[in-house]
Structure 1
Amino acid sequence: MMKPEGRGLTKMRGHQLWTATSKALFAEFLATGLYVFFGVGSTLHWPLAFPTVLQVAITFNLATAVVVQITWKASGAHVNPAVTLAFLVGSQISLPRAVAYVAAQLTGATVGAAVLYGVTTGDLRETLGINMASGSPAAMIGISVALGHLIGVYFTGCSMNPARSFGPAIIVGKFTLHWIFWVGPLTGAILASLIYNFILFPDTKTLAQRLAILTGNAETEKLVAVESQKESQSGSGDTKLESVCQMV
């Protein structure tokens, strides 16, 4: 039978895990919503200010850099189901957390698109589908997004982010060739993760460790380790509980 102090410690750890997870999910929701609002907003076809490819690329670059800088400590700043899938394939995140992240991202993207739709005049709403296009860690990610837009925008509109395509598609009700914007990024994410984690920089995780990460047990183990470290250094005031959501 578990002692009262043991039950109390378990309850405290569960509360800390829930708090950290909730914070991470809100961060993904907020970041993806802002990304869609500003990024997709830059593609609207204003009659007197038709956006150029460079303007769109720069806007998505800046939007990516800003949301990554704001949320990376809370959630790892995935802001993209393809990125979350890459972390899952690389045994860097649990399956339950990955599913929750994607749900938060898609919800945030839909809310961001809905807000943009609400503040956009009627005629411009037809261009909200984003599939059409015309003529630090945050900095590196932002630059890669800008480069992708500059190269790929003429081919498919260069979504690279399924959530970015999903949110506007839900709001305007247009899903023409929508599957492309899922299959392409997700396939690329899987291949990139496999190459990075198993060929270029293979790690030493055992099968048991990978399964622990996949099922979410590793997050609990990490929390226990941090708590033990805190207890051993109690009184020093130097130890801070690192966010469990960094298990990404």
Structure 2
Amino acid sequence: MVAFKGIWTKDFWRAVSAEYVATLIFVLLGVGSTINWHAGKDNPPPADLVLISLCFGLSIATMVQCFGHISGGHINPAVTAAMVVTRKLSLAKALFYVVAQCLGAITGAGILFMVTPAAVRGSFGVNNVNSDISVGHGLLVEIIITFELVFTVFATCDPKRNDLGGSAALAIGLAIPYTGASMNPARSLGPAVITLRFENHWVYWLGPILGGIIAAGLYEYLYCPDPEVKKRLKQVFQKDQSGKYKEVESEDITIKPGSTDMEKTEKKDPYNDTGDVLSSV
């Protein structure tokens, strides 16, 4: 229960509500771009994949720009899972984020369903594995493309980099390739719940979450590890007289900048600091 102490703050609920609103708008705009208003007419043109892809990409970029400073602008359970495995977000807070994202997606899809004429709804943007490929291949595609998306998120939002220019939000938005795929479990959940079509729906949860976790782990621990974290780990896990590593539990150890000397400080309860309720988000 200690992990849930930080939820009784305004900042926390602002962040959770921001994830709800951002996902609502994202799904409303994105799924709305898949509606073919020429359906039912003679010789209707095929769906404009470029239009749909740009709408999804620019919508997510806009939402990140609007809500990034409030909640981190995840708008995607796969991104939230990636933040958890890299210890940038606590598991308790992540649970609230995912619930907010799913509810926002369902609300956005529900609003769009109500205002869209039945004759042009079509598949209503419901994700489904192409009949020409196997479910396993569809899962692999979701893993790979979500890997690319989450790796871009970590690379463009890395505070250790000083070579970045332009808009990180736009880079994240345009990382979505022109495949019409999900890469976002909440985006898939919204239309599926409204239309009650859940065929192979698990693919759009397992694939993106696996891809996001793999991308986050490789970026954070292999390609661009934080040297300060390594130093802290070396000091926290100290060798005893027998040569075995032992965890220091009673006190925190910090390292002075530019020095290898250790300083022992009194342990602080992070959940008592209401000004930092969102970890690193």
Give the TM-score range, shorter chain. Answer: 0.7 to 0.9
TM-score of the superposed pair, with normalisation by structure 2 = 0.65
Name 2:10's counterpart in structure 1. Answer: 19
Name 2:28's counterpart in structure 1. Answer: 37
After TM superposition, give the deviation of residue 19 of structure 1 in Å. 0.5
Residue among 167, 170, 178 paired with 1:139: 170
Contact 1:129 1:174 survives alignment (8 Å): no
Name 2:187's counterpart in structure 1. Answer: 164
* Higher radius of gyration, 1 or 2: 2
After TM superposition, give the deviation of residue 17 of structure 1 in Å. 5.9
Name 2:147's counterpart in structure 1. Answer: none
Cα distance in 2 for partners of 1:193, 1:15 equals: 25
Name 1:195's counterpart in structure 2. Answer: 218
Secondary structure at the aligned position of 2:89 is classed as: coil
Q: What residue ranges of structure 2 are gaps of 5+ in the alignment?
A: 39-43, 131-166, 237-246, 249-267
Secondary structure at the aligned position of 2:123 is classed as: helix
Name 1:245's counterpart in structure 2. Answer: 278
Name 2:203's counterpart in structure 1. Answer: 180
Note closer, same or farther for the CA distance 1:199–1:127 as it changes in structure 2 (3 Å cut).
same
After TM superposition, give the deviation of residue 61 of structure 1 in Å. 1.4
User: What pairs with 1:9-158 in structure 2 (closer than 5 Å)?
Assistant: 18-47=9-38, 50-131=46-127, 136-145=167-176, 148=177, 150=178, 153=179, 157-158=180-181
Contact 2:6 2:271 survives alignment (8 Å): no
Secondary structure at the aligned position of 2:170 is classed as: helix
After TM superposition, give the deviation of residue 137 of structure 1 in Å. 1.6
Contact 1:43 1:130 survives alignment (8 Å): no
Encode CA deviations 1:138-176: one digit per residue, 9 max, x unaligned. 11111102xx2x1xx2xxx41110000001100000001
After TM superposition, give the deviation of residue 50 of structure 1 in Å. 4.4
Cα distance in 1 for partners of 2:96, 2:72 equals: 14
Cα distance in 1 for partners of 2:279, 2:32 equals: 31
Cα distance in 2 for partners of 1:85, 1:26 equals: 18
Secondary structure at the aligned position of 1:21 is classed as: helix
Contact 2:88 2:280 survives alignment (8 Å): yes
Name 1:213's counterpart in structure 2. Answer: none
Note closer, same or farther for the CA distance 1:186–1:175 as it changes in structure 2 (3 Å cut).
same
Cα distance in 1 for partners of 2:269, 2:191 equals: 36
Equivalent AA in structure 1 for residue 175 of structure 2:
S
Cα distance in 2 for partners of 1:77, 1:246 equals: 14
Name 2:256's counterpart in structure 1. Answer: none
Name 1:9's counterpart in structure 2. Answer: none
Percent identity of paired positions between Structure 1 and Structure 2: 37
119-128 vs 191-200, greater mean Cα deviation: 119-128
Secondary structure at the aligned position of 2:221 is classed as: helix
TM-score of the superposed pair, with normalisation by structure 1 = 0.74
Q: How many residues align?
A: 201
After TM superposition, give the deviation of residue 133 of structure 1 in Å. 10
Q: Which has the higher helix share?
A: 1
Alignment root-mean-square deviation, CA: 2.6
Contact 2:6 2:12 survives alignment (8 Å): no
Secondary structure at the aligned position of 1:127 is classed as: coil
Note closer, same or farther for the CA distance 1:201–1:56 as it changes in structure 2 (3 Å cut).
same
Secondary structure at the aligned position of 1:178 is classed as: coil
Equivalent AA in structure 1 for residue 48 of structure 2:
T
